[in-house]
Chain A
Amino acid sequence: MKILVFIKQVADTEARILIKSDKKSLEIENKYNMNFFDEFAVEEAVSIKEKTEGTWVAVCTYGSKRAIEALRTAIAMGADQAFLLDNTNLDSDDPLITAKILAGFARQEGFDFILCGRQAIDDESSNIGVMTAEFLGIPHVNSVMKLDIVNGNRALAESEIEGGRETIEVQLPALFTTQKGLNEPRVPLITGVMKAMKADIPLIDPCSTGLIRETIDTGAARINVLYYETPQGRPAVRIIEGASPEEKVKGLIAVLKEEAKVL
């Protein structure tokens, strides 16, 4: 069985992000990690591999050479192989283009099913998994909290929906986006780290998968960022005055009812 995992390298949640003076681009502190939700995808793939003989896990990402570090982390966790789909001179922000590129690679590489995080924590577009599945013409299940592969050709996926969970049976090949709670991503053993350090990670030109350059280069983006703005700062803290705790509570309730209008 071959499992393909898509990951994305994103800025660390504690990295400083500043909007540049043109308001259209960002200056990001040089701290990057594997996307939070993709960790569940890698962990799930490796766990299935450990339980099922003959399973091969390949991880790929579409990004710059900097993203090789995230691929090495996936290998350290137990993936067998990793690939970088090189974004040099190509658009790197448009989810549709990214999905086309990932689908092109997946088609060429072959797979039994695909795992990826339900969203990236930087742009939170939540589009890539779904769009890639559509390009590949395969079913997809989102926000998977439990996944059982049955007889190597179908899956029972429990996904999170509003107010509960839904279990879906789906024929493979299929794509599953992973949600927090699916598993507990492992801390790599040092043997995995050492293997990852030495791993050979090929750089792949997305055009080598049959895509036409004009459809995926910087001019082909469907989304155009107009500007960025910083979130509104938190308003000043207001201390509710009162001679006693009871009075302060009354004062607070009055504010919540009449000013904040949440009661």
Chain B
Amino acid sequence: MDFQLTEEQGFFKKTVADMIDRMVVPKSQEIDEKDEFPWELWKEFARLGYLGLRYPEKIGGLNADKIMCMTFYEEIARGSVGFAQSAIMNILMGTYFIHRFGSDAIKERCLYPAMKGEKIATMCFTEDQSGSDLGATRTLAVQDGDGWRINGTKMWITNGPICDFCTVLATTDPSKGLKGLNFYLVEKGTPGFSTGQIIHKLGCRGTVTGELVFDNVWVPYENLLGKEPGKGVSYVSDILDEVRLMTGAMALGIAVGAYNEALEFARKRVAFGQPIGNYQLIREKFADMDTMMNAARLMIYYGSWLLENNMESRVVAAEAKMYATEVCLKVVDELTRIYGANAFAYEYKSQRYFRDARFLLYGGGTHEVLKDFIGRSIIGKL
């Protein structure tokens, strides 16, 4: 069992980390304070080619393995969570179904420009009444002539208000629950497709999140992203593990950023005549944080290894996401304790990590839902 990254993976991680330190970290505070999409940074970043990370070389991607992808997600989240969310949406969720099921014409219009950052992609699952409970989806798609008519509203859509195209989860038959679900491509400019309310968030600022409205939107039949209607939920399963591991990797990135801030502070801050890093209870915090972060990292890499090798990864991916997130929340909490009252001021970075970490509780399923799923998987049907 070799626990080391290969030389190639190690070099990739270092290069990405350097790039994030040079390009993203210096702008992270401004992104958070202004809470506006950083278009200039997006263009500079897109030019480097990372948005095509996951896709095959023959279409201009980089064919990166799962470990490399997780490394990338970790580093970009360490730089700026708001920026990371938008970039990762283009890299993974917003383009996955286009790549897998889109026609050549759809790929030309949507996938390839998204890989170059020329178009912004998103995926729409969540509605007002359904987050983890996909079976409660109300957005309806009805066959209409040689196309589909879509009606509904989606909420909490990352990149939604600025997207050029989206993959929409809609049902063709609400009575069938999960088995009625499908994915559809809807492009900006389609009549009836509009942006609703923009959500002002506690954290992950800089990424634009909001409501998307589908009011009698008609799309051609080929915009059904899938081999046939009713298979939507099985396709969700195919991407779910990767999305959960990705969320775990982001959690690790935020934790690493927060941890490094805490370490620097503990080494420099003097109280009662010596650096606070000399006191046992502060040392205990670092011992706990380092232990947990190492464990989270191993779980994420293990889950990624299982996924890369087409092995069963459903439970491990859920566990890794859940554990890494809880570790992250613990680390950002400890950061604010180590910083003392300074953590309460916007002037210091500690508050940003604390706010940003919170969103990880929701992406890929809440922990209450995940625990029930994991327990059910272990115990089995009784």
Residues of A within 8 A of B (CB): 33, 68-69, 72-73, 76, 187-191, 193-194, 196-198
Interface flag for B14 (CB, 8 Å): yes
Min CB–CB distance B234 → chain A (angstroms)? 32
Top 8 closest pairs, chain A to chain B, by CB: A190-B49, A197-B8, A193-B15, A187-B19, A72-B11, A189-B49, A189-B48, A190-B50
Interface flag for B283 (CB, 8 Å): no
Most-contacted residue by chain A among B7, B15, B52 (CB, 10 A): B15
Question: Per-residue CB proximity of B1-24 to A under 8 Å, as 1/0?
Answer: 000000110111011001100110
Interface flag for B53 (CB, 8 Å): yes
Chain A residue contacts of B62, Cβ below 8 A: 190-191, 194
Chain A residue contacts of B53, Cβ below 8 A: 190
Determine whether the beta carbon of B49 is less than 8 Å from that of A73. Answer: no
Determine whether the beta carbon of A197 is less than 8 Å from that of B22. Answer: no
Determine whether the beta carbon of A73 is less than 8 Å from that of B15. Answer: yes
Interface flag for B269 (CB, 8 Å): no
| A1 CA to B62 CA, complexed, in Å | 31
Determine whether the beta carbon of A33 is less than 8 Å from that of B18. Answer: yes
Contact pick for B48, options A33, A69, A187, A198, CB 8 Å: A187
| A69 CA to B12 CA, complexed, in Å | 10
Chain B residue contacts of A189, Cβ below 8 A: 47-49
Which residues B149-197 have CB closer than 8 A to chain A? none
Min CB–CB distance A143 → chain B (angstroms)? 23
Determine whether the beta carbon of B11 is less than 8 Å from that of A190. Answer: no
Min CB–CB distance B129 → chain A (angstroms)? 40
Min CB–CB distance B192 → chain A (angstroms)? 38
Determine whether the beta carbon of B11 is less than 8 Å from that of A196. Answer: yes
| A32 CA to B355 CA, complexed, in Å | 32
| A72 CA to B7 CA, complexed, in Å | 11
Min CB–CB distance B15 → chain A (angstroms)? 5
Residues of B within 8 A of A (CB): 7-8, 10-12, 14-15, 18-19, 22-23, 47-50, 52-53, 62
Chain B residue contacts of A187, Cβ below 8 A: 18-19, 22-23, 48
Determine whether the beta carbon of B49 is less than 8 Å from that of A191. Answer: yes
Provide 7 A-B residue pairs closer than 8 Å at the C-beta atoms, listed in order of the A residue.
A69-B10, A73-B15, A187-B18, A189-B49, A190-B52, A191-B49, A191-B62
Q: Which residue of A lies closest to B264 (CB)?
A: A14
Most-contacted residue by chain B among A33, A72, A190 (CB, 10 A): A190
Chain B residue contacts of A76, Cβ below 8 A: 15
Determine whether the beta carbon of A197 is less than 8 Å from that of B11. Answer: yes
Chain B residue contacts of A191, Cβ below 8 A: 49, 62
Min CB–CB distance A242 → chain B (angstroms)? 25
Chain B residue contacts of A198, Cβ below 8 A: 8
Min CB–CB distance A122 → chain B (angstroms)? 18
Determine whether the beta carbon of A188 is less than 8 Å from that of B15. Answer: yes
Q: Which residue of B lies closest to A14 (CB)?
A: B264
Min CB–CB distance A14 → chain B (angstroms)? 9
| A47 CA to B14 CA, complexed, in Å | 23
Determine whether the beta carbon of A190 is less than 8 Å from that of B8. Answer: no
| A68 CA to B62 CA, complexed, in Å | 22
Q: Which residue of B lies closest to A16 (CB)?
A: B267
Min CB–CB distance B251 → chain A (angstroms)? 23
Determine whether the beta carbon of A69 is less than 8 Å from that of B23. Answer: no
Min CB–CB distance B275 → chain A (angstroms)? 12
Q: A33-B18, A69-B10, A187-B22 are in contact. List 6 more A-B contacts (CB 8 A).
A: A73-B15, A73-B18, A187-B23, A188-B19, A190-B49, A191-B49
Q: Which residue of B lies closest to A186 (CB)?
A: B48
Q: Which residue of B lies closest to A72 (CB)?
A: B11
Most-contacted residue by chain B among A73, A191, A193 (CB, 10 A): A193
Chain A residue contacts of B8, Cβ below 8 A: 197-198
Q: Which residue of B lies closest to A65 (CB)?
A: B7
| A192 CA to B120 CA, complexed, in Å | 24
| A45 CA to B99 CA, complexed, in Å | 38
Min CB–CB distance A124 → chain B (angstroms)? 22
Chain B residue contacts of A73, Cβ below 8 A: 15, 18
Min CB–CB distance B278 → chain A (angstroms)? 16
Min CB–CB distance B184 → chain A (angstroms)? 31
Min CB–CB distance A95 → chain B (angstroms)? 27
Chain B residue contacts of A194, Cβ below 8 A: 62
Q: Which residue of B lies closest to A68 (CB)?
A: B7
Q: Which residue of B lies closest to A190 (CB)?
A: B49
| A72 CA to B6 CA, complexed, in Å | 14
| A169 CA to B8 CA, complexed, in Å | 42
Min CB–CB distance B87 → chain A (angstroms)? 13
Q: Which residue of B lies closest to A33 (CB)?
A: B18
| A197 CA to B14 CA, complexed, in Å | 11
Contact pick for A69, options B14, B47, B52, CB 8 Å: B14
Min CB–CB distance B88 → chain A (angstroms)? 15
Chain A residue contacts of B50, Cβ below 8 A: 190
Determine whether the beta carbon of B12 is less than 8 Å from that of A197. Answer: yes
Contact pick for A190, options B10, B18, B22, B48, CB 8 Å: B48
| A76 CA to B62 CA, complexed, in Å | 14
Min CB–CB distance B361 → chain A (angstroms)? 31
Determine whether the beta carbon of B47 is less than 8 Å from that of A193. Answer: no
Q: Which residue of B lies closest to A193 (CB)?
A: B15
Chain B residue contacts of A188, Cβ below 8 A: 15, 19, 48
Min CB–CB distance A78 → chain B (angstroms)? 13
Q: Which residue of B lies closest to A188 (CB)?
A: B15
Determine whether the beta carbon of A69 is less than 8 Å from that of B11. Answer: yes
Q: Which residue of A lies closest to B10 (CB)?
A: A69
Min CB–CB distance A10 → chain B (angstroms)? 14
Chain A residue contacts of B15, Cβ below 8 A: 73, 76, 188, 193, 196
| A226 CA to B62 CA, complexed, in Å | 50
